Homo-oligomer: A and B are copies of this chain.
Amino acid sequence: MDDRPSLRERKKLRTRQAIATAALRLFAERGYEETTIADIAAAADVAPRTFFSYFPSKEDVVFAEIDDRLAEVAERLRRTPGETPMETIRRSIVDVLNAIVTEHADYGAVQVALVLERPALRARALQRMTDAQEAIEALLRDLCPGISEIDAVAASGVAIGGMQAVVAHCRRGGYDPLAMRTALDRAVDIVEHGLVSVEALSSPSP
Interface check A183, CB cutoff 8 A:
yes
**Number of chain copies forming the complex:** 2
Interchain CB contact under 8 A, A201 and B156: no
Contact A204 B144 (CB under 8 A): yes
**Cα-based distance from A69 to B149 in the complex (angstroms):** 28
A186-203 near B? 1/0 per residue, CB < 8 Å: 110011111111101111
Give the residue name and chain of the B residue nearest to A203 (CB): B84
- Given known contacts A200-B146, A203-B84, is B119 in contact with A190 (CB within 8 Å)? no
Interface centre among A169, A192, A198 (most CB of B within 10 A): A198
B-chain residues with CB within 8 Å of residue A159 when the two chains form the complex: 161, 195
A166 CB–B CB distance under 8 Å: yes
- Asked if A202 meets B154 with Cβ closer than 8 Å, knowing A124-B123, A191-B194, the reply is no
Between-chain CB contacts (< 8 Å), 29 pairs: A84-B204, A85-B200, A85-B202, A85-B204, A86-B196, A123-B124, A123-B127, A126-B126, A143-B205, A143-B206, A146-B204, A148-B200, A150-B169, A151-B200, A153-B165, A153-B166, A154-B162, A154-B166, A154-B169, A154-B186, A155-B190, A157-B187, A160-B161, A191-B194, A191-B195, A192-B194, A193-B196, A194-B194, A194-B197
